[in-house]
Amino acid sequence: MHNKISVLLIDDEPIVGNRLKPALAKIGCDVDVFEDPQKALNQIRSSEYDVVITDIVMNNINGIQVLEEVRKKSQKTRVIIITGFATAALAREAMEKGAFDMIAKPFKPSDLRRIIANALKDMGYQDIEVQ
């Protein structure tokens, strides 16, 4: 696995970050977790991440706005949408705006690890292994 894959995770429910951070650390991801999307956007503007994982429905700022901000900042960063309100229309909008993938909640950490591995392969990283 490539060393220190930088991941920024935004979800306003603390349980999501608490659960996913250790699950992603297992495969070498260095995960910054944000519950406040505004603070996450400030961080995105000042740093570049390999992967941004964002919820859609949050207070004040939604995941599509996060996606748009990431696209403005970097074409390299892969954005993964996680949402409990997945629909075909949302999936199309997210893909059109440059999301790498979208998964409906609830999901298993291994599902997200697989998507991250695909994203890293897409970015040219070799020898990606997830379980």
Partner 1 sequence: MPIIVLFSNLPEFAQGVSRVLAEKTGFKYVSDADLIKDAAKRYSVAEETLTRTVECKPGVLQRFCSSKDKCMARLESVLAERLLEDNILRSGFIGYPMLQKVSHVLKVRLLCGIKDLIELSRLVDIPGDQLEKGIKRKEENYRAWVQYMYGLDITDSSLYDMTLNVGNLNLDEAIDSILHTVGHERFQPMTFSLGCVRDQVVSSRVKAFLVDLDPKAEIKSKEGMVYVYSRGSRFNRKDHARKIKEELIRLEGVKQVEVYSQRELFKSVSCGH
Task: Using CB under 8 A, list all residues that contact partner 1.
Answer: 86, 88-89, 91-93, 95-96, 98-99, 101-104, 111, 115
> What is the nearest approach in angstroms of partner 1 to the Cβ of residue 91?
4
- Using alpha carbons only, how large is the chain's radius of gyration in Å? 13
Nearer to partner 1, 35 or 111 (CB): 111
> What is the nearest approach in angstroms of partner 1 to the Cβ of residue 3?
26
C-alpha 83/C-alpha 76 separation (Å) is 22
Nearer to partner 1, 43 or 118 (CB): 118
Question: Which phi and psi angles does 91 have, rounded to 5°?
Answer: -60, -45
The DSSP 8-state label assigned to residue 84 in this structure reads S
> What is the nearest approach in angstroms of partner 1 to the Cβ of residue 62?
17
Nearer to partner 1, 60 or 106 (CB): 106
Who contacts 72 (Cβ-Cβ below 8 Å, separation ≥6)? Answer: none
Nearer to partner 1, 47 or 85 (CB): 85
> What is the nearest approach in angstroms of partner 1 to the Cβ of residue 115?
6
Tell me which residue of 81, 86, 79 sits closest to 122, measured CA to CA.
79
Beta bridge partners of 91: none
